[in-house]
Amino acid sequence: MITSNGGGALGAVSIAEGQTVVTQVAASGAPGVTITYTIAGGVDAGRFTINPVTGQLSFVAAPDFEAPADSDGDNLYEVIVSASDGSFTDTQTLNVSVGDRSVAARLIAPDGFAGGIGGTTAVFLTSGFQDIRIIDAPGRIALSGAPGGDDIIRFAGAASAYTITRVGSRVEIADGDTRVSIPVSPTGINVVFADGVRTLAIVGSNLQIGSQVATNTAAVITAPAEPGPLPDLADPDARGRLIVAEGSPVIVDGNVDVFGTSFDAETFTIVGGDVAIRGGFTGGNDTIGFDEPASAYTAVRVGSNVFIEGGDTRVSIPISPGGVILLFGSDQR
């Protein structure tokens, strides 16, 4: 009678932490017969609720992967669901697996933005001009939006230090621990290495970096550099928006407004630019890193903010009761 999740006596469902909806229990019956859904048991039955009419099974409270609430604490919840038409009742034991939710920081780059980003981050581009420097740090950077012919993506080191792989309509450029996923368009994008520029574009049915065709197998970039100047369209007043996330430390360079939360422990490192902390960072567990020793910076309080300056770095941090951890190399303040 129960047809959902395989329709057998035992079914399996996987969801990410932080959501309540688990699955839609469905059953078949005679025409015109009303089916009623209930929870019939299971060691974790108290963690669930079910809509008797629609069969939607939900957690009473959204599960937390880091704090499992199932009977044996392994993020695998057991519940038995029941469907009845008044004459016949069918049951199904569901094992609900709760997975860790991977949260990446997000950088929103407006028209004219020029800056650097490193670590696991989602970067959103506009149809205008952006100049993005990939900071050589472990992580995966995924670009999305509308990269165009004038946009610039900069990598550290020579092109031969990187591989390129085609993944659908995108390519992934990687040097081992730094991976960058880039959407490809017919108008192309300027990819800059220490030994010159290559155009990344759709050419016919191929995705090419310069004269080299990207395939589904990772290959070292061997395409020669191309002549020609790069566009100079950066707007010094353009400011990016960086939304940081717990468990996803990032590195940033450029004129950026940073937003966090008041309850998670977020970490990011500043290597240059005019950076303003705009929201969050009030829980006392957030960390802001700097790439120079403390002696390279000055600090001054102006109203409810502290300004830290040194070299080409200027950071404004709002004062809060919870405070924030400042990390200068291994020197914590």
The pLDDT tens digits for 322-331 are 788 899 977 7
Between CA 294 and CA 300 the distance in angstroms is 14
Task: Report helix, strand and coil shares of the chain as percent, to nearest 5.
Answer: 5, 50, 45
Whether residue 202 lies inside any domain: the answer is: yes
C-alpha 215: how far from its chain's center? 25
3-state class (DSSP) for residue 2: strand
Whether residue 267 lies inside any domain: the answer is: yes
Residue 159 token pair: 């092109």
Whether residue 175 lies inside any domain: the answer is: yes
Residue 327 and residue 247 share a domain: yes
Q: Among 10-19, 117-126, 278-287, whose mean pLDDT is lowest?
A: 278-287
Residue recorded with tokens 């699955």 = 23
Residue 323 and residue 244 share a domain: yes
Residue 244 and residue 208 share a domain: no
DSSP conformation letters of 209-228: ETTEEP-SS-EE--PPPB-S
Q: Do residues 292 and 310 lie in contact, with contact meaning Cβ atoms separated by under 8 Å?
A: yes
- Total number of domains constituting the chain: 3
Residue 327 and residue 244 share a domain: yes
The pLDDT tens digits for 248-296 are 789 999 999 998 766 567 888 999 999 998 876 656 678 889 999 999 9
Whether residue 168 lies inside any domain: the answer is: yes
Residue 253 and residue 323 share a domain: yes
Whether residue 107 lies inside any domain: the answer is: no
Between CA 130 and CA 14 the distance in angstroms is 39
The pLDDT tens digits for 226-252 are 988 899 999 999 999 998 877 678 999
Residue 204 and residue 130 share a domain: yes
Q: Residue 78 is part of which domain span?
A: 10-99
The pLDDT tens digits for 160-213 are 999 999 988 889 999 989 999 999 989 999 999 999 999 999 999 999 999 999
At 68, which CATH number?
A: 2.60.40.60
Q: Do residues 188 and 180 lie in contact, with contact meaning Cβ atoms separated by under 8 Å?
A: no
Residue recorded with tokens 């120079």 = 292
Residue 200 and residue 280 share a domain: no
Residue 75 and residue 133 share a domain: no
Residue 142 and residue 87 share a domain: no
Residue 133 and residue 215 share a domain: yes
Residue 244 and residue 214 share a domain: no
- For residue 324, the model assigns a pLDDT of 84
pTM above 0.75, yes or no: no
Neighbours of 211 (CB within 10 A): 12
Whether residue 244 lies inside any domain: the answer is: yes
Whether residue 178 lies inside any domain: the answer is: yes
Whether residue 162 lies inside any domain: the answer is: yes
Residue 216 and residue 252 share a domain: no
